[in-house]
């Protein structure tokens, strides 16, 4: 896919950087909303070949945000009941928690996968029909891909259903600079031995643009991990809503790197990921589509007040991810 850089001058805040036209909204492709405070600046954007016509800017009804948009090429779907676009689901999620929380609505996170290897359990996220993004610490060296089984479309491990798919790994990419001591670059990709069949219960999530920032906003996590520190894993997929806390982890974890990692938790504790949720998604919604913000990495116990969790920042690793997806 060919990308062309361009410049557009708008009245906006002093925010610089590359913005991507990746969010579909009512037949348009747009950048994320950009906060504004006034003043004329130049915004650089990366053009999308699916754009039709010129790129222009739109102002939010609150007059405090702008975004760049173009008319998008029409998309086609194989099923009228399920849009074959990333980050969309037919079964909407309900509110709940992982630690001490509620079950997720079946198939409301259609990109969530469960990974088994040598008795270990991790989560992962389907980012295209052949690749799953997970955490590097979920892998055991020496890596033998055939030992990793990926379950897609699963909700309750005690009640398998017809739409569930089980696919063994074909190749595994652990980040070359993963540090087991600091958990830096805790990210990996599993290439499946065959493509996943997309359906009304299985879909891929959207990757974020490089400018994805969600300070203090609500994000979501899901998994089959333990429901308390050193407790029992959950047979049913659970979910939780968290808040991005950009300043907290740097004060708690000595090796935390805000460029490569994200910090998220619940004010007052009670919501968190736990053992077995590692590698799973940290997600946010924008204009009806879900994007993968982070990968579950580490924390201090589970849901403890004052101790948010640390997540690999997906936007930072986009060049690495794309290099592995294109590798033969």
Domains and their CATH numbers in the chain: 15-70 (no CATH), 90-327 (2.40.10.10)
All residues at 6 or more sequence positions from 169 whose CB lies less than 8 Å from its CB, including other chains: 145, 146, 147, 148, 149, 150, 190, 191, 192, 193
Q: How far apart are CA 116 and CA 199, in angstroms?
A: 23
Q: In this structure, what token pair is assigned to residue 182?
A: 């600091």
- Say how far apart CA 300 and CA 179 lie, in whole Å: 18
Q: Which residues are catalytic?
A: 137, 186, 278
Q: Which residues pair with 190 in a beta bridge?
A: 132, 172
* Cβ atoms of residues 56 and 21 within 8 Å: no
Residues forming a β-bridge with 313? 294
Average pLDDT, the chain: 79
54 phi, psi to nearest 5 deg: -80, 155
Model pLDDT, residue 9: 36
Q: d(Cα 62, Cα 57) in Å, to the nearest integer? A: 15
* Intervals of the chain under pLDDT 50: 1-16, 75-84, 96-100, 270-272, 303
CA contacts within 13 A on the Cβ side of 218: 8
Question: What pLDDT is stored for residue 8 in this prediction?
Answer: 40
The distance in angstroms from the start CA to the end CA of the chain is 17
List Cα–Cα distances, 229 to 63, 223, 252, 305, 308, in angstroms. 45, 14, 19, 13, 14
């Amino acid at each position: 896919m060919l990308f062309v850089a361009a410049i557009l001058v708008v009245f906006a805040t002093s925010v610089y950087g590359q913005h991507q036209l990746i969010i579909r909204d009512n037949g348009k492709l747009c950048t994320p909303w950009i906060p504004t405070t006034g003043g004329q600046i130049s915004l650089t954007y990366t053009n999308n070949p699916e754009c039709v016509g010129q790129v222009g800017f739109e102002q939010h009804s609150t007059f405090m945000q702008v975004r760049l948009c173009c008319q998008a090429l029409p998309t086609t779907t194989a099923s009228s009941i399920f849009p074959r676009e990333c980050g969309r689901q037919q079964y909407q999620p309900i509110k709940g928690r992982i630690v001490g929380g509620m079950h997720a609505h079946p198939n409301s996170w259609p990109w969530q996968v469960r990974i088994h290897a040598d008795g270990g359990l991790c989560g992962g996220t389907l980012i295209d029909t052949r690749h799953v993004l997970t955490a590097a610490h979920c892998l055991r060296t020496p890596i033998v891909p055939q030992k990793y089984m990926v379950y897609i479309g699963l909700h309750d491990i005690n009640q398998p259903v017809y739409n569930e798919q089980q696919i063994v790994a074909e190749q595994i990419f652990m980040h070359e600079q993963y540090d087991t001591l600091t958990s830096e670059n805790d990210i990996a990709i599993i290439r499946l031995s065959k493509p996943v069949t997309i359906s009304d219960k299985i879909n891929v999530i959207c990757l974020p643009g490089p400018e994805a920032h969600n300070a203090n906003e609500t994000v979501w996590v899901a998994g089959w991990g333990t429901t308390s520190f050193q407790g029992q894993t959950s047979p049913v997929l659970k979910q939780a809503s968290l808040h991005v806390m950009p300043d907290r982890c740097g004060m708690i974890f000595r090796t935390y790197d805000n460029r490569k990692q994200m910090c998220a938790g619940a004010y007052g504790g009670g919501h968190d990921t736990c053992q077995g949720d590692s590698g799973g998604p940290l997600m946010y919604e924008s204009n009806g589509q879900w994007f993968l913000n982070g990968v579950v990495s580490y924390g201090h116990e589970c849901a403890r007040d004052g101790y948010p969790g640390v997540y690999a920042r997906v936007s930072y690793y986009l060049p690495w991810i794309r290099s592995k997806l294109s590798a033969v």
